[in-house]
Amino acid sequence: MTDQEDAARRERKARRKADREANELERRESRELEAAQRKEDRERYERERKESAERYERERKKEHERHAQERRDQE
């Protein structure tokens, strides 16, 4: 193999290695972004669930108070 062919082979090998490393970095960043998005989605879901439960409880208490007031008014 001539020096020129050997240099071309080393260049191709180095390019393939750089491409693999770039692809792995891209995959890792993508996984990290997806994980961050899932975490954000979970936090939003939990926050909305908690707010919904609090609204439900407030409405339930209001309804209970309204019924109690109606009973008192009837007496």
Q: Where are the domains of the chain?
A: 1-75
Q: pLDDT for 23-66, tens place per residue?
A: 999 999 999 999 999 999 999 999 999 999 999 999 999 999 99
pLDDT band at 74, cuts 50/70/90?
A: confident
CA distance 48 to 51: 5
Dihedral sign from CA coordinates of 11, 14, 20, 21: negative
Q: Where are the alpha helices (DSSP H) in 1-75?
A: 3-74
